[in-house]
Homo-oligomer: A and B are copies of this chain.
Amino acid sequence: MTNVAIIGGSGYGAAELVRLLHIHPYAKLTAIISHSKQGTDFSTVYPHMNQIADQTMEQLDVKKLSETIDLVFFATPSNVSKTIIPDFLASGITCIDLSGDFRLHSPAVYQQWYQAEAAAEEYLHQAVYGLSEINAASVRSAKLIANPGCYPTAALLGLIPVTEKELIEPNSIIIDGKTGVSGAGRSLSQHVHFAEMNENVKAYKLGSHKHIPEIEQALQEYIAADIQLTFTPHIVPMTRGIMVTCYAKLTENITTAQIETIYHTFYQQHPFVRVRADGEVPTTKEVYGSNYCDIAIHVDERTNRLTIISVIDNLVKGAAGQAIQNMNISNGWDQTTGLQHAPIYP
C-alpha cells in the first residue's frame, strides 16, 4: 500500500481526489492538509463524504508528513506549492502538483502570465509535464509531476496528433473553450453566484488566460517555428465538463476519415482517449465523472479548415483523475487502476 496525502483539502480538486482514492486498491489516503480548515472533519466541509471520509484535516507539518507518506498531491491555489515542494523532494517524496506552479519551463513566461515570481529554476527543470498519454515515459521516472490544467488537457489531446504530423498551420490555431462552473473553484464570487450564472453564458479573460502559454509550450515540442495561438474561455451554466472547439488551417488536402485514422492509431494504446467517428460528436455529459477524453474531428472542405472537438470532465481528466493516472504510471501500476468509473449518464 502506498500512503498518500493531499495538501489543499478544502477545494474541489481535493474533494475529487478523495472521491477517487476511496476505491483505489493500492493507495491509502493517510492525511488531508488544509490551512483554512485544519481541525475540521473533511465530511463537515463536504457532507457528501459522511461515513466515507471523516478524517480531521490537519495543519501542514512537512517533516512529520514526510515520515509516513510516499506521495503527495497538491491541490493548492497558484503560488503555494512552489515553496513547499522542494522540502518534500528533499525527503524523496513524489509530488504531483495540480496547480500551475511547475508547468511552465520558463520563469519569465510564468512571471508574465501569472503575475508572480516563478518557482526556483532547478525545480522547473526537474518537473515533468504530466499529460499522461503523451509523457508517460517521463512521468514514470519523475519525482515532481506538474499535472496539466483542465483546458490544456482537452486541447492538447485534441491537437497533438495533427500537430505532430504537421497537418495544421501552427499559427492558425484558435481554441474556443466552454467550461462548467466548478472550474472556477469553491471560492465565492459574484461571477458564479447561482442566480446570475444560471441561464447565462460568459466569456472571460480574453487573451489573458494562464492556460495559453501552457498549451503553446506543449505544442512547441512538435514545431520548429514560434507558436502563438488564440484561446477564449467561456463559462456555461453547468457544474462539470469542458469542451474545447479547436480550429486550424490544414496544410494539405486530407479527408475527415483519413484524419480519424491518424487519431485512432495515435491513441490505440490509450484507454482513456476515445476517438469518435462517423459524424458522432461527443458531448460533455458523455464523460461526466470519468477519466475519459472523447474527441471528434471534422474537415471542412470549403474552407480547408480542421475542427477538433475534445471533451473531458474538468475535475477528473482535467485534474484529480489525471493526477491519479500519473500516480499509477509513476508506481508502475496499470494506468486505469482505481479509475474504472464509467461516465454517469444521464
Chain B residues contacting A294 (CB-CB under 8 Å) are 50
Q: Using a CB-CB cutoff of 8 Å, which residues 242-283 of chain A contact chain B? A: 243, 245, 247, 271, 274, 276, 280-283
Q: Using a CB-CB cutoff of 8 Å, which residues 296-337 of chain A contact chain B? A: 298, 300, 302-303, 305, 307, 309, 311
Interface-located stretch among A1-9, A84-92, A179-187, A217-225: A179-187
Known: A47-B276, A237-B238, A245-B234. A283 touches B52 (CB 8 A): no
Chain B residues contacting A19 (CB-CB under 8 Å) are 342-345
Chain B residues contacting A341 (CB-CB under 8 Å) are 23, 341
- Asked if residues A271 and B51 are in contact (CB atoms below 8 Å), the reply is yes
Known: A194-B194, A198-B194. A49 touches B342 (CB 8 A): yes
CB distance from A340 to the nearest CB of B (A): 5
Q: Give complex CA distance A276, B186 in Å.
A: 23
- Asked if residues A281 and B202 are in contact (CB atoms below 8 Å), the reply is yes
- Asked if residues A300 and B203 are in contact (CB atoms below 8 Å), the reply is no
- Asked if residues B193 and A193 are in contact (CB atoms below 8 Å), the reply is yes
Interface-located stretch among A61-69, A97-105, A170-178: A170-178
Cβ-defined partner of A176 (8 Å) among B18, B171, B176, B274: B176
CB distance from A276 to the nearest CB of B (A): 7
Oligomeric state, in copies? 4
User: Residue of B at shortest CB range from A188?
Assistant: B188
- Count chain B CB atoms within 10 A of each CB in A18, A190, A241, A285 and give the residue with the most: A285
User: Residue of B at shortest CB range from A20?
Assistant: B342
Q: Give complex CA distance A23, B19 in Å.
A: 16
Chain B residues contacting A199 (CB-CB under 8 Å) are 180, 198-199, 238-241, 284-285, 288
Q: Using a CB-CB cutoff of 8 Å, which residues 45-84 of chain A contact chain B? A: 46-53
Interface size on A, residues (CB 8 A): 85
Q: Does A204 count as interface, using CB distance less than 8 angstroms?
A: yes
Q: Give complex CA distance A199, B57 in Å.
A: 28
Q: Give complex CA distance A51, B264 in Å.
A: 13
Cβ-defined partner of A203 (8 Å) among B194, B206, B245: B245
Cβ-defined partner of A245 (8 Å) among B232, B280, B303: B232
27 A-B pairs whose Cβ atoms sit less than 8 Å apart in the complex: A23-B341, A47-B282, A48-B285, A48-B290, A49-B345, A51-B271, A51-B274, A174-B305, A178-B236, A182-B195, A182-B346, A186-B190, A188-B193, A192-B193, A192-B194, A195-B346, A196-B346, A198-B346, A199-B199, A199-B239, A199-B285, A200-B285, A201-B243, A201-B284, A202-B281, A230-B307, A232-B245
